[in-house]
Chains A and B, each alone.
Chain A
Amino acid sequence: MSAPREQPVPPKPPVAVKGRGRDVWISVVEDAPAEVLITSLREQLARRAGAFFVGAPVTLELRGDALDMALGVRLGGVIEAAGMRLTAVVATDAGQPLTNAQERGGRDAAAVPPPGDAAGALFVARSLRSGQRVAHDGDIVVLGDVNPGAEVVAGGSVIVWGRLRGLVEAGRATDGAAVCALDLAPTQLRIGSAIARAPEDPERVPVPEVARASDGRIMVESWRHSA
């Protein structure tokens, strides 16, 4: 005796697209080959294309605590092609709290170490909350947001694949350091001896930007290459 109107349940897509208020959250919910994820996302966005998505800020959630940057970039491309703005990438399983050792370092600790001691890039696969601080002699990459009240201090460059709204100091140990973010809105930004703060403009639409120091001043330019 079969129930009437019984239909096969379609398999859940490996990528979920959810609206949360004004924002869009795109989450990889199942592990799958990159091509499957990209196709799934492209199909879903095409099916739901419309004014709702244009310019919408998107948070991309990847799985695992070792983020696949290549996948993130490719999914980001699909998102941008659909007319949305990728504003943050976060890792769902990156729940490891920063160790005490990282938080203990005081601002005045240690003279700046000589360049060449830099131990490669520090990869922070989660967002930083107020009161959290990451310091490293080399470059620092944050996959997530840097909230107001958080600090990132690098001997080299700082790349924030998300919203940089806290305090950032780059170039303590090297010249030519840069600070990049999908949304560059730090409370305070220092590169070497140059210091600046983000202009207060609640109407601004965030775009990816790069900041460098030149002649003791901070210069900011847009990151996008013209297509």
Chain B
Amino acid sequence: MIPATPRIITVTSGKGGVGKTTTTANIGVALARRGRRVAVIDADIGLRNLDVVMGLENRVVYNLIHVVRGAVDAERALIRDKRVPGLMMMAADQHSDKDDVSPEEMREVCEALRAHVDYVLIDSPAGIEQGFRNALAPADEVILVTTPEVSSVRDADRVIGLVEAAGKPPPRLILNRVKADLVARGDMMTTEDVLDILRIDLLGVVPDDTAIIAATNRGEPVALGDGGRAGRAFHNIAARLDGEHVDVLPLDNHSGFFGRLSGLFRADGDGR
């Protein structure tokens, strides 16, 4: 099922270090493995790392800044991932900074790509300043990545307000690095706790998975394979983006609907 128009999706978070780049790379891989043509763009100018995470660093010749300055066409700056047909990446430039690109220029770059792809995924830098505004400008849709921690949820809430004020549709949430054992003990926010504050649609929940660390260091996104808890979550997210209905994987036996229902009865049994 090919989407009617190419979709430009910005992946953002507010807080740094919550897993935007890893998430963007893995969703790109997962979508491409479903047969879509996907261009992943690193908009984190000055602190680029999308190419590293995807293991394409040593093939970068032209980057986003070259395209913006008109030195090359957007297509020339796209690196085709040999592991996954249909997956392409455009790197950021490490030596410029975020003020060297304008929102309008970002829009033009994405327009130039529209004919070649089904999805453009833009990896936004952290923060809410110019880099974020540049990354947001071309977006048709926004994905918000957050971890179940008070500070990152607070920043995510702020970002949702800015996204809506920019006239974009409400972002969809990916809750990243969820640790089922901490959630069960009450030491980590539940998905419901996060949704209680952010009140946006949930796109997916990605469990904390130590395999990600090695994968990042090797430049092999986990979605290249079929196994792994995080990998499966990314594949489910790609399926949902493609319009499929996929149930959210339960973290463990007690986090499903009936698990929570029985928990409600136990609490009432205390006579509160």
Contact = CB atoms under 8 A, between A and B. Distances in A.
B220 interface: no
B258 to A, nearest CB: 11
Contacts of B160: 129
Contact of B157 (A21, A22, A130): A130
Main SS of chain B's interface residues? helix
B199 interface: yes
Main SS of chain A's interface residues? loop
Interface size class of A (residues with CB under 8 A): 20 to 34
Interface of A: 19-23, 51-52, 54-55, 90, 95, 97-98, 127, 129-132, 145, 147-149, 165, 205
B154 interface: yes
Contact of A129 (B161, B190, B191, B195): B161
Interface of B: 154-155, 157-158, 160-162, 164-165, 190-192, 195-197, 199, 257, 260-261, 264-265, 268, 272
Nearest to A97: B165
Contacts of A54: 268
28 contacts: A21-B190, A21-B195, A22-B192, A22-B260, A22-B264, A51-B264, A51-B265, A52-B264, A55-B268, A90-B199, A95-B164, A97-B161, A98-B165, A129-B157, A129-B158, A129-B161, A130-B154, A130-B155, A130-B158, A131-B158, A131-B161, A132-B161, A145-B199, A147-B157, A148-B157, A148-B197, A149-B154, A165-B197
A205 B272 contact: yes
A52 B162 CA distance: 37
B192 A23 contact: yes
